[in-house]
Amino acid sequence: MKVSHVMRMPVTTVEPKETVHIAEGIMALGGFRHLPVVVDGELVGIVTDRDLLRAPAVLTHLHGIDDTRAAGRALRVEDLMSKPVVTVGPETALAEAADVMLRKGLGSLPVLERGSLVAILTRSDIMRGVARSGAESADGVAPTTALQVTLERPLNARGKEDS
């Protein structure tokens, strides 16, 4: 299975100069936790719900202000976004994308095609792909894929993979 089978399109984006307050609103209204940051169609970063939780601390550090509401109005997306961004292509094997996300602790991967942002892949999308694979196996198709092997490895008490 490939990333193109489960990726989400179209992808909502934000510009780096936009306020954190606007980014929070976009994410809340859209019901998602990852927002690619673009300038003239080029991916320059990504902001996540976890980044937004850091806004008050960043504002205090940068400006000495300790006010959550002020953080949303004063900070720009570029102050919080993660960069550089780890990306995949639509033809990337889903198992490979899952492995990258697990190794790097990412919740999403923007999908680029010929350098342009075309979609986003989230952990939920991968789970949907695994579930779809499982449904196919119930129909007699045996989907023993690297993705399933990666996701089914037992974890030890600390949440790390057992060897």
Task: Spell out the domain ranges in the chain.
Answer: 3-152
Whether omega for the bond prior to residue 10 falls within 30 degrees of 0, making it cis, is yes
Q: How many Å apart are CA 115 and CA 60, to the nearest integer?
A: 36
Confidence grade of residue 75 (pLDDT, cut at 50, 70, 90): confident
The model's confidence at residue 133, banded by pLDDT at 50, 70 and 90, is confident
| Highest-scoring range by mean pLDDT, 16-25, 50-59, 61-70 | 16-25
Model confidence at 73: pLDDT above 50: yes
Tokens describing residue 18: 């936009």
Q: Give the three-class secondary structure for 133.
A: helix
Residues 6+ apart with CB under 8 A from 134: 143
The CATH code of domain 3-152 reads: 3.10.580.10
Q: Is the pLDDT confidence value at 53 over 90?
A: no
Cα separation, 124 vs 6, whole angstroms: 9
Residues 38 and 77 sit within 8 Å (Cβ to Cβ): no
> Which residues have a Cβ under 8 Å from the Cβ of 43 and sit 6 or more positions away?
36, 37, 85, 87, 110, 112, 117
Residue 72, pLDDT score: 58
pLDDT band at 22 (very low <50, low <70, confident <90, very high): very high
Work out the pLDDT band at 54, boundaries 50, 70, 90: confident
Give the per-residue pLDDT at 21: 86
Percent of the chain with pLDDT over 90: 56
Rounded-to-integer distance, Cα 75 and Cα 65, Å: 11
